[in-house]
Each structure stands twice: as C-alpha cells, then as structure tokens.
C-alpha cells in the first residue's frame, strides 16, 4: 500500500460525509471557490494578522475573549435559558443539548459560577449568552457582580440583540462590571430595528469599555456589510467580528430559496467537532476577506476579526491534545508526534510501502530512533523535523503528513476504568509538497 492508496480512505470518508449532509436539503458547491490559502494572501495584502492556523484574521484590535477562545483555557460561557426575541432562520441553538428543555427552564448562572469557583476553576474570560440574556437583566447583573468578586480582573462579555436594552440598562451593566458588550446585527431580510441598535451602540461606547458587533457574513450582503463597517467605525465601536456563515442542519428551505450552497471541504480536517454551528456556506469566507481588504482601503480605525468556522474548533482540539503533553505514557507510546501550535493537532511525517522501508533503513543508518514502524501496512511514522534531511538522503521517497487527536476509549461494559484509556486517532494523511 502506498501513501495515495492509504489516504484514499480519508477522501472517501469526506465524500460520504458530504453525501450525508446533502440529505438535509442543501447541496455542496461542485468545487471549493475560496481555498483556505486565500486567507494568508489577504492578510499579506491588507496588513492583517493571520493566526491560529490561518483560521483567524484580524486588524487593529481583537477582543481578549477571542484570543482565549482559541485554546479554551480559563474561559467559559453561561446562559440562563435559550428563549430569544428573534427567530433567525440560521440560528444554531436548536443544535444545543437539551434545547427544548431550556426553552422553558432557567439556570441559576450565579450558582453555577460559584460551584465552578469552589471546584477550583480558574477564569480569565467569562460570557453570558442566550437566547437573549436580557430577558433576565437582574440575573445577568448579579452574575457580573459575582464574577468580579470571585475573579478580580476577569474579562466579562454579554451577547445581545439589543431588543430589550435601553440607556438605563446599559448603565446598570457597566456598574455591574461588564467589560464588553456584543451586539448581534442581523442582515436586512431578518432585521426590524437596525437603526435603534446603532443608537444603542453609540450610547454604549461611552459607558462599556468595549463595544463589538458580531455578525455572520451572509453571501450576497457585501454592500450592506460595507455600510455596517462604515457606520460602526463612525460611532467609535471597538470592533466587528465577522463570522463565517453556516447551515445549522435545519431550515433547509430558507437556505435553498436564497440559492445558498455549502462549502466544499467544509473543515480543514474532518472530525467530530463539538461546536454546533453547522456547515459553512460557500461564498461567506470570500466576502469576509473582501471586507478586510475594504476596511484596509478605507482606512477604517475599528478592529475587524474574521472568525472562520475552522477557528471555532481549535479550542476543542487543544483541550483534547493537552493530554499528550500531560501524559508521559502517551508521549512514550508516540514519541514522533509534535503539537502544531497553529491548528492544535498532533502531527508527524509518514511513509508507506517500499518508501517506509527506505526511511527506516536511513534512520537506522544515521542513528535516529523515535519512529514507529508498522509491518502490517507497511508504514513508518517519524518526527516531521526529519523531513528536510530525509529528502536529501532519499529524494525518491513519497512522504505524507499524519494529523491526529487524542481520544478516550470507551470502558468495557460493566467495568469502570480507574483512569482514562487514551489513544491517538488519525484523522487525515496528506502528501507533503
């Protein structure tokens, strides 16, 4: 078996995934119209930062909460319930666990925060979201006040449509210690009060330390989005978060009637991600990148952050792969793995078939160990930092990159494990250029 034959299984898994998703009623584009390589080109052309494995692009300013989200370290989000004043066709809250239950049952977010603190949890960033959290202003303010008591200096943020907010409410939030307020501004076909929200944002600028707009980039809304950036810059808000627009696997008719298609290669690496936002829609990223270039050309002073769908998943991968660094037995079992500080996956180089034997012979001859040889495939896994030297010594060998994540094996029925049984799951193999 050679590398291309081995990698075919992953390609087939992606094809099967896309076929299964299309059964929800929205087709994929025939070919990827905005390859991920465009991100770095855009960043270079407009002086943006391109970070987190090229999944996060930003200019001028970015929320500290967005930086914390990349790893999920010392950050948490709370909600009272999932009721909302809006009914957006693209909302992904129905994908949350126990969605129907939390439409009618409220959580005690102050008690939950106190329990986390008592258990030793450390937080730098805390958020309250919904639904619409300002259905419960007293609970939100109580949470903010308690957060400041338990975690002095913690960064707090609130997500809101602004429907239930007024000047007095803004002052109360500020007095309770709110660090950042994020307004959801919806596209024209689902909005019924944008002008009022802009007025609220202008009032908030003088009251809350950071005011942010968070908005999905819906294909076809480029003109409206440029106007949003201009208006937001004019009133002095801190920044705009441009989110990659996603299909949440329901309301397919709303997507198809607008002519939307799903993004080919929706994920850098196919995996069972926890984030419930759905499948990226084709065209969203291209327009987001155009908006970054537009802001550069216009000389806008506000911060702009493009948060791709890929960016939403790095925290999960970081948290799972932390176990590799913390578990000596796991590192000893896979000494050839290296943590990618960009996308957070564990990676190594690989060769297959006759090439695997060539690589093993070379490694043995030069006294390198720390590789893994599997005679059944056959294949060899070895550290990626061998690649340059190996290519000089064995130029004909076809080499690939193996992408991995730590998982926990399910305990056998009727037996409780004393400690997690961890292993590495390979999620992709791609030929190295």
The per-residue pLDDT for 207 is: 96
Could you give the 3-state DSSP secondary structure of residue 152?
coil
Q: Are strands 279-280 and 56-59 parallel, antiparallel or unpaired?
A: unpaired
Position 258 pLDDT exceeds 60: yes
Note the pLDDT tens digit of each residue in 7-50. Answer: 999 999 999 999 999 999 999 999 999 999 999 999 999 999 99
**Cβ-contact 293, 222 below 8 angstroms:** no
Average pLDDT over residues 182-198: 75
297's tokens: 């050309």
Instruction: Count other Cβ atoms within 10 Å, centred on residue 225.
Output: 23
Average model confidence (pLDDT) for the chain? 95
Binned at pLDDT 50, 70 and 90, residue 419 comes out as low
Binned at pLDDT 50, 70 and 90, residue 263 comes out as very high
Position 284 pLDDT exceeds 90: yes
Position 191 pLDDT exceeds 80: no
The verdict on whether omega for the bond into residue 15 sits within 30 degrees of 0, i.e. cis, is no
| Residue of 86, 100, 68 lying closest to 132 (CA atoms) | 86
The per-residue pLDDT for 409 is: 86
**Cβ-contact 276, 95 below 8 angstroms:** yes
| Residue of 22, 56, 95 lying closest to 277 (CA atoms) | 95
Binned at pLDDT 50, 70 and 90, residue 276 comes out as confident
| Residue of 329, 407, 377, 394 lying closest to 7 (CA atoms) | 377
> Regarding the domain delimited by 26-312, which CATH topology (the fold level of the hierarchy) does it fall under?
TIM Barrel (3.20.20)
**Cβ-contact 212, 240 below 8 angstroms:** yes
**Cβ-contact 359, 322 below 8 angstroms:** no
Position 418 pLDDT exceeds 70: no
The per-residue pLDDT for 188 is: 58
Q: In whole angstroms, give the CA distance from residue 215 to residue 225.
A: 9
The per-residue pLDDT for 190 is: 47
Position 320 pLDDT exceeds 50: yes
Domain-wise residue ranges, the chain: 26-312, 327-431
52's tokens: 């987190």
Note the pLDDT tens digit of each residue in 143-189. Answer: 999 999 999 999 999 999 999 999 999 999 999 999 999 999 876 54
The per-residue pLDDT for 187 is: 62
Helix, strand, coil percent content, the chain, rounded in steps of 5: 40, 20, 40
Note the pLDDT tens digit of each residue in 46-64. Answer: 999 999 999 999 999 999 9
In sequence order, the β-bridge partners of residue 374 are 379
70's tokens: 């990349």
Note the pLDDT tens digit of each residue in 345-380. Answer: 999 999 999 999 999 999 999 999 999 999 999 999
Q: In whole angstroms, give the CA distance from residue 104 to residue 101.
A: 6
The per-residue pLDDT for 203 is: 96
- How does DSSP classify residue 405? E
Residue whose token pair is 């239930």: 164
Q: Are strands 338-339 and 346-352 parallel, antiparallel or unpaired?
A: antiparallel
DSSP string, 105-140: ----HHHHHHHHHHTT---SEEEEESS-GGGSHHHH
CA distances from 291 to 273, 288, 308 (A): 28, 5, 14
Q: In whole angstroms, give the CA distance from residue 205 to residue 66.
A: 19
Average pLDDT over residues 225-253: 97
Note the pLDDT tens digit of each residue in 321-339. Answer: 999 999 999 999 999 999 9
């Amino acid at each position: 078996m050679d590398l291309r034959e081995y990698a075919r299984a992953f390609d087939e898994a992606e094809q099967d995934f896309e076929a299964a998703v299309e059964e929800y009623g929205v087709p994929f584009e025939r070919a990827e119209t905005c390859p991920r390589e465009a991100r770095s080109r855009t960043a270079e052309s407009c002086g943006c930062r391109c970070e987190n494995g090229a999944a996060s692009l930003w200019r001028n300013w970015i929320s500290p909460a967005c930086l914390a989200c990349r790893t999920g370290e010392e950050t948490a989000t709370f909600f009272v319930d999932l009721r909302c004043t809006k009914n957006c066709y693209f909302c992904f809250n129905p994908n949350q666990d126990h969605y129907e239950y939390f439409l009618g049952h409220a959580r005690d977010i102050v008690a939950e925060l106190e329990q986390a603190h008592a258990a030793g949890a450390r937080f730098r960033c805390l958020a309250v979201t919904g639904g619409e959290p300002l259905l419960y202003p007293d609970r939100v303010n109580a949470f903010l006040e308690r957060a400041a008591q338990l975690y002095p200096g913690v960064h707090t943020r609130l997500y809101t449509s602004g429907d239930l907010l007024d000047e007095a409410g803004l002052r109360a939030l500020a007095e309770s210690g709110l660090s950042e307020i994020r307004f959801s501004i919806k596209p024209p076909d689902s909005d019924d009060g944008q002008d009022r929200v802009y007025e609220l944002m202008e009032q908030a600028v003088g009251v809350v330390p950071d005011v942010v707009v968070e908005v999905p980039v819906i294909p076809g809304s480029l003109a409206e989005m440029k106007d949003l950036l201009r208006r937001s810059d004019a009133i002095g808000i801190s920044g705009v978060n441009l989110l990659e627009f996603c299909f949440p696997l329901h309301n397919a008719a709303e997507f198809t009637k607008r002519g939307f298609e799903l993004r080919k290669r929706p994920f850098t690496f196919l995996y069972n991600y926890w984030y419930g936002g759905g499948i990226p829609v084709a065209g969203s990223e291209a327009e987001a990148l155009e908006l970054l270039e537009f802001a550069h050309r216009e000389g806008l002073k506000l911060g702009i952050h493009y948060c791709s769908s890929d960016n939403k998943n790095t925290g999960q991968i970081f948290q799972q792969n932390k176990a590799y660094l913390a578990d000596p037995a796991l590192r000893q079992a896979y000494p050839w793995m290296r943590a990618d500080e960009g996308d957070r996956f564990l990676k190594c180089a690989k060769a297959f078939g006759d090439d695997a034997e060539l690589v093993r012979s070379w490694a043995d001859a030069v006294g390198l160990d720390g590789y893994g040889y599997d005679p059944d495939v056959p294949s060899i896994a070895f550290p990626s930092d061998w690649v340059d030297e190996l290519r000089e010594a064995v130029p004909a060998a076809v080499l690939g990159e193996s992408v991995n994540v730590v998982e926990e094996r399910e305990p056998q029925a009727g037996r409780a494990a004393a400690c997690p049984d961890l292993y590495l799951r390979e999620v992709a193999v791609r030929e190295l250029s």
